[in-house]
Structure 1
Amino acid sequence: MPKFFFNTRVGDDLVRDPDGIVLRDADQVWEVARTTIRELLRGEGQPRHLLAASLEVTDRDGQVVLEFPFSEALFDPSAEDTVKH
């Protein structure tokens, strides 16, 4: 199964995920990205500065396979709950 790295981009800064996680497919990558962002936003209280951030998910070769803006995790209609600020 492939390994993916969930790097966080805030402006020009990139915080790299040194460990990565093994996931089965692109659907699972999307779910993990959304859950990760929502947990980060909950933990930050009033995360307005993070709304411009995004997760850049890469494969083992460093190729970006998903760019997930933090703001999109807030407005996902399929989400069971909504992060409130």
Structure 2
Amino acid sequence: MPLYCFTIPIDDQTPHDPAFRSLRDADAAYDEAKRLAQDIWAASGDRRLMRAVVVVTDADGEIVLEFPFTEAITAP
């Protein structure tokens, strides 16, 4: 399974350590990015997260997707 790296940059900082997950494909990485954003928002409520995205890269360091926290926060 491919390895994906999840980072959360906020205003030129990365306050959370990167998370690495082996997942079946980019669709699974999308689901994981959404879950990660929802969990971090629920745990911290840091208003800076409203400007943040979960950046997902593959093993080569290429960006696979960027998931906005605002999408996770407003999702049902």
Q: TM-score, normalised by structure 2?
A: 0.87
**Is 1:50 the equivalent of 2:75?**
no
- The one-letter code matched in structure 2 to 1:40 is I
Structure 2 residues without counterparts, runs of 5 or longer: none
Whichever of the two has the greater Rg, that structure is 1
- Runs of 4+ off more than 3 Å: none
Q: TM-score, normalised by structure 1?
A: 0.78
Structure 1 residues without counterparts, runs of 5 or longer: 80-85
C-alpha deviations, 1:44-65, integer Å up to 9, x for none? 1x33221111111000111010
What percentage of residue pairs aligned between the two structures are identical?
A: 35
* RMSD between aligned residues: 1.5
Q: Secondary structure at the match of 2:48?
A: helix
- Looking at structure 2, the residues matched to 43 and 37 of structure 1 have their Cα atoms a distance apart, in angstroms, of 10
The count of corresponding residues between Structure 1 and Structure 2 is 75
- The one-letter code matched in structure 2 to 1:69 is P
